Amino acid sequence: MKKLKLQNEVFKMFVANYKEWLEILGYAESTVYQLPIHLQEFFYYAEQNHITRLNQITPKTIKKYYKELKERANERRNGALSKSYLNKHQQALKKFKEYLQNHNYKDFNVHLKSERQPTEEKLNILTQSEIKELFRATEYSHTESRFKLRDKAILAILYSCGLRRNEAVHLDVSDILFDKERVFVRKGKNYKERYVPINRKNAEILEDYIYEARPEFYQSYLSEALFINKNGTRMQGMSFANRLKVIVASTNNKTIENKQITLHILRHSIATHLLQKEVPLESIKTFLGHSSLESTQIYTHLLKSIENETV
């Protein structure tokens, strides 16, 4: 169904912005990939029924769409679509409704009732004390000092500097500007460049890795990459994810382990922590490399929900 092509430019815009919203909030990669596809499928159904605006969508529209889903044959096995799959479609529309509410859209006032066995995901972030536990855990994340120092540097880049995974992958040693207390990010989203500040503590972590640990990796002098693997080549995204899993396991903290922390949630956590410290939204926007303030404002809504949970 992901091959269905939309004609309506407004619907296309909503699918793209919805996907970015999910990504910014730190949902699992599978969720960020699947839910926009399900939303696109719903909009395709709407187009086929001559619906071109959100305010034309009614509970009756949803009911007819859902009835059609229930009657659709399963392409992978015999029978109808599973309840789990139907719930994913429900989740896509529920999250889209939440997205609209957070962006002050009032034209999607529909009620959605889930099937049994709901699959709604809970979004987790790390507290500041849990972040400190991760940094401490790098003392036990490997038997060799070079790997432990690299793990700590990875945390400094992904949490303290708030970089995306792809941005961290493409960092070179020369991008760490110690004299200017900045990290140069050239491989940002949509190829936008930016400078990210580093404080003295994180600069020392990066110095320890670059000057003490990195030279111990095989033929490190042949690579410009900041983060290299045991073979002396640039670390890729999956390697970063695997190291984070090891660091999390090294905390021996079940609460942290149960949160199923991803690389993107480290970035998500620093953004939330900055907001808690009352850093201006415009500054957080620049720090994260967001193209619009609207993307950054997502964190204000999330912070309110976090505060409500702790009351």
Q: Positive or negative CA dihedral for 90, 96, 101, 105?
A: negative
Other beta carbons less than 10 A from residue 201's beta carbon: 10
Give the SS3 label for residue 257.
helix
Nearest to 167 by CA among 155, 157, 177: 157
Catalytic member of 264, 268, 273, 285: 264
Contact 160, 203 (CB under 8 A): no
- Where do runs of H (alpha helix) occur along 1-54? 9-24, 29-48
Q: What confidence tens digit (pLDDT) does each residue in 29-47 have? A: 778 888 999 999 988 988 8
What is the model's pLDDT at position 103?
81
In the chain, the domains with their CATH numbers are 9-102 (1.10.150), 128-310 (1.10.443.10)
Amino acid letter for position 91: Q
What is the model's pLDDT at position 236?
93
What is the model's pLDDT at position 121?
44
Higher-scoring residue by pLDDT: 297, 196: 196
Catalytic member of 95, 164, 165, 259: 164
Share of the chain above pLDDT 90, in %: 41
Higher-scoring residue by pLDDT: 267, 151: 151
Mean pLDDT of 274-292: 87
Give the SS3 label for residue 231.
coil
Active site residue 243: no
Q: What confidence tens digit (pLDDT) does each residue in 48-79 have? A: 999 888 888 888 888 888 888 877 765 555 44
What is the model's pLDDT at position 117?
40
Residue matched to tokens 């989740």: 91
Per-residue pLDDT for 247 more than 90? Answer: yes
Q: What is the mean pLDDT of the chain?
A: 85
- HSE-CB for 221 with a 13 A CA cutoff: 0
Catalytic member of 189, 194, 234, 301: 189
What is the model's pLDDT at position 29?
74
Active site residue 164: yes
What is the model's pLDDT at position 85?
73
Active site residue 290: yes
Catalytic member of 170, 214, 267, 268: 267
Per-residue pLDDT for 116 more than 50? Answer: no
Residue 111 — pLDDT band, cuts 50, 70, 90?
low
Per-residue pLDDT for 228 more than 50? Answer: yes
Active site residue 89: no
DSSP string of 130-190, one letter each residue: HHHHHHHHTTSS-SSHHHHHHHHHHHIIIIIS---HHHHHT-BGGGEETTTTEEEE-S-GG
Residue 234 — pLDDT band, cuts 50, 70, 90?
very high
Residue 248 — pLDDT band, cuts 50, 70, 90?
very high
Active site residue 299: yes
Active site residue 189: yes
Per-residue pLDDT for 299 more than 90? Answer: no
